Amino acid sequence: MDIQDKIKHLIDQRDKARLGGGEKRIDSQHKKGKYTARERIDMLLDEGSFEEYDMFVTHRCTDFGLENEQYLGDGVVAGRGTIAGRVVYIFSQDFTVFGGSLSETFAMKVCKVMDQAMKAGAPVIGLNDSGGARIQEGVNSLAGYAEIFYRNIMASGVIPQISAIFGPCAGGAVYSPALTDIIIMSDQTSHMFVTGPKVTKTVTGEDISTEDLGGATVHTSKSGVAHFKADNENEGLLLIRKILEYLPQNNLEDPIVTECKDPIDRMDDELNTVIPDDPNKPYDVKDIIYRIVDNEEFLELQRFWAKNIVTGFAKFGGQPCGIVANQPNFLAGVLDINSARKAGRFVRFCDAFNVPIITLVDVPGFLPGSFQEYGGIITHGAKLLFAYGEATVPKITITLRKAYGGAHDVMGSKQLRADMNYAWPGAEIAVMGAQGAIEILEGKRISEIEDPAERAAFAARKEEEYREKFANPYVAARFGYIDDIIEPRSTRWRIIRALRALSTKKDLLPPKKHGNIPL
């Protein structure tokens, strides 16, 4: 065989590898409304940038007749490419080959990509579409999963890890995405669960569909496992590109500051009237967020879960930031188990990758009740407290309306090393609201007043006195807990100026192996 024949053989082998499990299975994938592993990579990466690794790898199993069924690539396409010119590493599971099941060599390919990503200091992206462990390979398949899990753990906080679920992801396979930073699921075509409907039915007697057990809607609204529900794979791939705009390549770099054409000194007079005069009346905090960020662009994470707190990415003067905001429009913005978990993880994610944190506070306290207490609100609330206290990135906190009790401390207070703490003029910062405080402090005197009108007038007068003496931003400002009381319409400008001043911030943690966050 001369060199031309060898080159032709190479080209033929590449063409064979690109077919995966063959045209019939590719057609079956398309009929399900799903793309193939290679199509997903081509759509996600910059055109012509993909460099594939291990195209000619095959499995090593000789049991159950598998030695007679070999496919080049063995069920996963892996390599590197660029997104918006920035290097990323990627693996895409190929459902057309043994249902995307994981073998020893499949795992080896994924691990190689993750190792290369760590060495290069670049994000790693996993596109999941797999039936789980390849049963024929037994413990070798399980060992392969564990090798991947270990690398997920080592990469955590070092390089961004993003998982997209575009098909089944069950059993042990779910734990690799669960260890990553962001999970995206495609609606109706993806599912995640540790135990499937059949085993669930056998063990517990519960009769439930795949979609109801682990579909995208479940994990974005009930469990909080996934961060985004994409209408389809196209949207999911676009989301990956969008997320990376706010993140650096690794933990030793800063997010890229881009040109901003939205004036940094833009004032918005409507912010002066956006909060109702009635302190118990709700409003949508996202109305404030969209007005203060660059170009009204806000990428919200976990939008359908724990809606009493809002988390997401935006830019201020071109600087990528994370936003955490209480949402008075849902449960009055109260902190509960799920909102503390949601915000705590997001704060730690931002801190790991040098993304400044902007906190918008309007919180009446923690949600009371036996359900919350039995569920461990103390421990879960402490997660958020821990996350803010541990974070060393620039932290800017604005109290919009109310900040009561321990919830004030938890939400980026000065004592948790927030760099700049601002308050709007109508903010109330106190142990509790005026009405509750007066019921405790003056309850006996109020009850002794027989005339209802006189009793109500006395209570109202005492509540007003309490607000003037304790529940206003000037009290906190006098102690230096609030750095300045600002006009609402100037909020954007004040945030951007503070970010620029804090761009060289250095904050150190005491030497230690790691903290013991209350899990």
Task: Write the CB contacts of 2 (distance below 8 Å, at least 6 apart in sequence).
Answer: none
The pair of three-digit structure tokens given for residue 3, joined into one six-digit string = 């060199």
Residue 37 forms part of a structural domain: yes
In a domain, 34, yes or no: yes
Active-site residue (options: 171, 381, 389, 412)? 171
Clarify whether 21 is annotated catalytic.
no
For residue 238, tell me if it sits in a domain. Answer: yes
By DSSP bridging, strand 191-193 and strand 182-186 are unpaired
- Report the b/e string of 434-447 with b at 16+ CB within 10 A: bebbbbeebeeeee
- The total number of structural domains in the chain stands at 2
Q: How far apart are CA 208 and CA 364, in angstroms?
A: 38
Q: Locate 348 and state its tokens.
A: 């730690």
406 catalytic? Reply is yes
Which entry of 133, 216, 407, 418 is annotated as an active-site residue? Answer: 407
Q: What is the pLDDT of residue 16?
A: 87
Distance CA 234, CA 220 (A): 18
Q: CA-to-CA distance for 26 and 420, rounded, in angstroms?
A: 55
Residue 413 covered by a domain? yes
Element (H, E) at 115: helix 104-120
DSSP-based three-state secondary structure for 222: coil
Positive or negative CA dihedral for 279, 283, 284, 289?
negative
Q: Are residues 162 and 273 in the same domain?
A: no
Q: Is 346 helix (H, G, I), strand (E, B) or coil?
A: helix
What residues form DSSP beta bridges with 51? Answer: 80
The phi and psi torsions of 361 (rounded to 5 degrees) equal -110, 125
Shared-domain flag, residues 312 and 226: no
- Give SS3 for 283: coil
Distance of CA 340 to the CA centre of its chain: 13
Residue 259 lies in a domain: no
Instruction: Quote the CA–CA distance of 176 and 77 in Å, as a whole number.
Output: 17
Q: Which helix (H) or strand (E) holds 322?
A: strand 319-326
Q: Residues 347, 411: one domain? A: yes
Q: Are residues 284 and 182 part of one domain?
A: no
Q: The whole model's pTM is what? A: 0.94
How many CB atoms neighbour CB 383 within 10 A? 23
Count of other CB atoms within 10 angstroms of residue 28: 14
Domain final residue pick, 244, 277, 303:
244
What are the backbone dihedrals phi and psi of residue 507, each rounded to the nearest 5 degrees, phi first? -135, 130
Question: How is residue 332 written in tokens?
Answer: 């009055």
Residue 517 lies in a domain: no
DSSP letters along 427-468, please? -EEESS-HHHHHHHHSHHHHHH--SHHHHHHHHHHHHHHHHH
Backbone conformation region of residue 424, classed left if phi is above 0, alpha if psi is from -120 to 50, else beta: beta
CATH number at residue 401: 3.90.226.10
Q: Which of 375, 406, 426, 436 is catalytic?
A: 406
Give the integer Cα–Cα distance in Å for 301 and 228: 7
Tell me, yes or no, whether 282 and 423 share the same domain. yes
Distance CA 231, CA 221 (A): 15
Could you read off the pLDDT of 352-403 as tens digits, one per residue? 999 999 999 999 999 999 999 999 999 999 999 999 999 999 999 999 999 9
- Look up the domain containing 374 and give its range: 269-433+471-501
Hey, which residues does 304 pair with through a beta bridge? none
Residue 506: φ, ψ to 5°: -130, 125
Q: Which of 157, 172, 196, 376 is catalytic?
A: 172
311 and 185 inside one domain: no
Which residues in the chain show pLDDT less than 70?
none
pLDDT of residue 61: 76
Residue that is written with structure tokens 């590109």 in the block: 241
pLDDT value at position 2?
A: 87
